[in-house]
Amino acid sequence: MRRAFNIAVLMLLAYLTVGRAMTHAQAGEEGSMSCERGAEMVRLDAMGKGFSDAASSGQGQNFLSGCLVTGEARFGNLVARD
């Protein structure tokens, strides 16, 4: 039983490592940007829609947080990657 658990943990770590490596490899593709640039675009878009400075900054920070945690986030047809 312990051996099966160890194998499962090893497979999970391999899956997460490969996924992160693929995200970094795709970061240079056309149509991708950094998480910070994506957060700024979200903030400016919110300001353009009439949100206050505090509300638009909050939306930008939320985008940045999600992008950094998952490694990527989408803004329209652009992909922001860590």
pTM given for the model: 0.64
Q: In terms of pLDDT, which residue wins out, 39 or 29?
A: 39
Distance CA 75, CA 2 (A): 43
Tell me which residue of 45, 81, 79, 39 sits closest to 63, measured CA to CA. 39
pLDDT digits (tens, 9 = 90+) for 35-73: 899 999 999 999 999 999 999 999 999 999 998 888 888
Confidence at residue 30, expressed as pLDDT on a 0 to 100 scale = 59
Q: In this predicted structure, what is the pLDDT of residue 1?
A: 85
Buried b or exposed e, range 60-81, using 16+ CB within 10 angstroms: beebbebbeeebbbebeeebbb
Distance CA 80, CA 82 (A): 7
Residue that the structure tokens 């329209």 belong to: 76
Assign 70 to helix, strand or coil: helix
